């Protein structure tokens, strides 16, 4: 595992590396670190995963993460000719359970937006953009002013930021692709007003807004982004007041997707806004909401065929 980690760590995103390192240190090295790799069997992994599920109360998705690390490490051992085959390949995994999507209503999003604006101008803009462009949390926090074109009504998502061990790291998007997203006239107007407040704050502090400043920043010069973990913590502190006791910041992304689907926008447009590399991902995640549109389509077609 140590040899595999040294080989693999430079190829992983910061957040994936952090999670893999946690699993190695907290699970795999204590549980399996002293075993000779050629003595491991699929049956043993089946028993191990069952124990993690029944006695350690790990969710199916967490067990699948453990398996991903194990299978990856042992797969590399096969490439290095340390093993003849990968015993984890034939292990039985618990069935994956996709969480039910329950996006907030437009009414509650408007209440949340008001609360966010009262909290701070940065968090208010974060919620506004999150409910409009549907980007991931790190992509929101990583947005820079140089990527916003208010005249054209567009912004470009190039990077994201992650909080790893108290340090902010900038990386490319999850799909390693840049995408341009349109913004409405109302949001463009709010961004202009917001930028003026950012400039005024910088002047009061005796600094200038940096050329590559982050849009969402609590620093007068904009050189440091709004921290993603703080965004989540602030959202949790405000959500109950908006009647969203169990909502997550990520649900703003679901809000964008389901509202677009409900309005009849094609799935490729929805996928492009969300940053899904393949529209099939969007279809898989939001299939339940697409069924509602299919029912409406059936009714429309039926009316065309019925006698007047």
Rounded Cα gap, residues 264 and 252, in angstroms: 19
**pLDDT given for residue 102 in this prediction:** 87
pLDDT above 70 for 307? no
Rounded Cα gap, residues 1 and 249, in angstroms: 35
Average pLDDT, the chain: 91
pLDDT above 80 for 97? no
**pLDDT given for residue 308 in this prediction:** 59
**pLDDT given for residue 189 in this prediction:** 95
pLDDT above 70 for 99? no
**pLDDT given for residue 291 in this prediction:** 75
Tell me the pLDDT tens digit for each residue of 260-276. Answer: 988 889 999 999 999 99
**∠ CA(204), CA(205), CA(211), 5° rounding?**
105
Rounded Cα gap, residues 2 and 168, in angstroms: 26
Six token digits for residue 51: 């124990």
pLDDT-wise least confident of 7-11, 38-42, 175-179 = 175-179
Burial per residue of 11-28, b for 16 or more beta-carbon CB atoms within 10 angstroms, e otherwise: eebbbebeebbebbeebb
Q: Do residues 155 and 148 touch, judged by C-beta distance below 8 A?
A: yes
Overall average pLDDT of the 157-176 stretch: 84
pLDDT above 70 for 105? yes
Overall average pLDDT of the 300-307 stretch: 78
Overall average pLDDT of the 181-196 stretch: 95
Tell me the pLDDT tens digit for each residue of 28-62. Answer: 999 998 999 989 999 999 999 999 999 998 888 89
Q: Beta 179-182 vs 159-164: how paired, if at all?
A: unpaired
**More confident call, 291 vs 98:** 291
pLDDT above 70 covers a percentage of the chain that reads 98
Q: Residue 96 — very low, low, confident or very high, per pLDDT cuts 50/70/90?
A: confident
**∠ CA(230), CA(180), CA(114), 5° rounding?**
40
Q: Residue 173 — very low, low, confident or very high, per pLDDT cuts 50/70/90?
A: confident
Overall average pLDDT of the 112-132 stretch: 96
pLDDT above 90 for 300? no
Six token digits for residue 262: 């409900």
Q: Residue 141 — very low, low, confident or very high, per pLDDT cuts 50/70/90?
A: very high
**pLDDT given for residue 285 in this prediction:** 87
**pLDDT given for residue 98 in this prediction:** 67
Helix ranges (H only) for the chain are: 2-8, 14-23, 29-32, 42-54, 60-79, 106-119, 121-133, 137-141, 185-204, 228-239, 251-262, 267-274, 279-285, 287-305
């Amino acid at each position: 595992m140590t040899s595999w980690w040294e080989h693999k760590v430079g190829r992983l995103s910061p957040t994936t590396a952090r999670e893999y390192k946690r699993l190695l240190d907290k699970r795999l090295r204590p549980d399996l670190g002293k075993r000779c790799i050629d003595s491991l069997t699929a049956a043993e992994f089946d028993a191990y995963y069952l124990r993690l599920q029944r006695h350690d109360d790990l969710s199916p998705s967490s067990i699948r993460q453990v398996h991903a690390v194990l299978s990856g490490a042992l797969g590399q051992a096969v490439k290095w000719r340390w093993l003849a085959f990968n015993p984890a390949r034939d292990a039985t995994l618990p069935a994956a359970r996709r969480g039910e999507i329950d996006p907030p209503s437009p009414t509650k999003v408007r209440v949340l937006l008001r609360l966010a604006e009262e909290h701070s101008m940065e968090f208010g803009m974060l919620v506004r953009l999150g409910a409009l462009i549907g980007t991931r949390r790190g992509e929101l926090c990583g947005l820079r002013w140089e990527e916003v074109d208010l005249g054209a009504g567009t912004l470009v998502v190039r990077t994201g930021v992650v909080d790893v061990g108290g340090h902010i790291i900038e990386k490319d998007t999850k799909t390693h692709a840049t995408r341009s997203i349109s913004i409405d006239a109302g949001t463009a107007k709010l961004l202009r007003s917001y930028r003026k407040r950012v400039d005024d704050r910088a002047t009061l502090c005796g600094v200038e807004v940096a050329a590559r400043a982050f849009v969402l920043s609590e620093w007068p010069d904009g050189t440091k982004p709004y921290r993603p973990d703080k965004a989540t913590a602030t959202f949790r502190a405000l959500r109950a007041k908006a009647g969203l006791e169990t909502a997550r910041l990520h649900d703003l992304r679901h809000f964008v997707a389901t509202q677009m689907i409900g309005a009849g926008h094609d799935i490729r447009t929805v996928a492009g806004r969300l940053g899904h590399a393949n529209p099939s991902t969007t279809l898989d995640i939001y299939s339940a909401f697409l069924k509602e549109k299919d029912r409406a389509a059936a009714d429309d077609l039926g009316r065309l065929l019925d006698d007047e």
